[in-house]
Amino acid sequence: MIDVDQAQANEIMKLIGMFDGSFVEGKQAAVYDYLVKVEVANGLILVAVTEVS
């Protein structure tokens, strides 16, 4: 788990398309030193954050 502030959380949500309607299952985005991948399971949005080096 990583600790992010509200501005970083908003940036992540924007990059995966939660604000503009472009969200699709399996969408990926690189944020800072992390890869963010989003999937939907049983109506839940799952966000996986992986640290990359």
pLDDT, tens digit, 9 for 90 and up, residues 5-34: 788 777 777 877 777 877 666 666 666 677
Q: Which residues of the chain form beta strands (DSSP E)?
A: 28-31, 34-41, 44-51
Inter-residue long-range contacts of 43-50, CB under 8 Å, 24+ positions, other chains counted:
47/12, 47/16, 49/2
Strand partners, 37: 28, 48
Position 25 scores a pLDDT of 64
pTM of the model: 0.46
Cα 53 to Cα 46: distance, rounded to the nearest angstrom:
23
